[in-house]
Structure 1
């Protein structure tokens, strides 16, 4: 009989990769995820701080940072 650990979960995807998969949410995250998919320099393997640093380099507006804050909360719940 196999011994399965029900508490063991798959590792959490990198925040950048997770963000790229977000579609049709109906919130601000849709827009930032769409922009990330179009951005060849987006840090796909980055954590939330790496994504924020990238947005600062791109001179993103405050709404983009608010969307990242919302996305980070959702990602942390994964």
Structure 2
């Protein structure tokens, strides 16, 4: 699944350099995770968060980022 620009969710997310707030925190965590699924959809990112036992609030951040990605 890709957005209108042909980007997967993870590709779009990793390109969000300089984002502030919670999405910026998610981007930083993704970039620092060598097992982050680099060409994945939001559900695969959520699954990775579960594997990492990430804070539950991060799932809401993925929801917000997904909305931004789809509207980009």
5+ long unaligned stretches in structure 1: 1-9
TM-score with structure 1 length normalisation? 0.80
Residue 13 of structure 1 is matched in structure 2 by: 7
Superposed CA RMSD in Å reads: 1.3
TM-score with structure 2 length normalisation? 0.86
* Higher RCO (C-alpha 8 Å, min separation 6): 2
Residue 53 of structure 2 is matched in structure 1 by: 59
5+ long unaligned stretches in structure 2: none
Cα displacement (A) at 1:11: 4.1
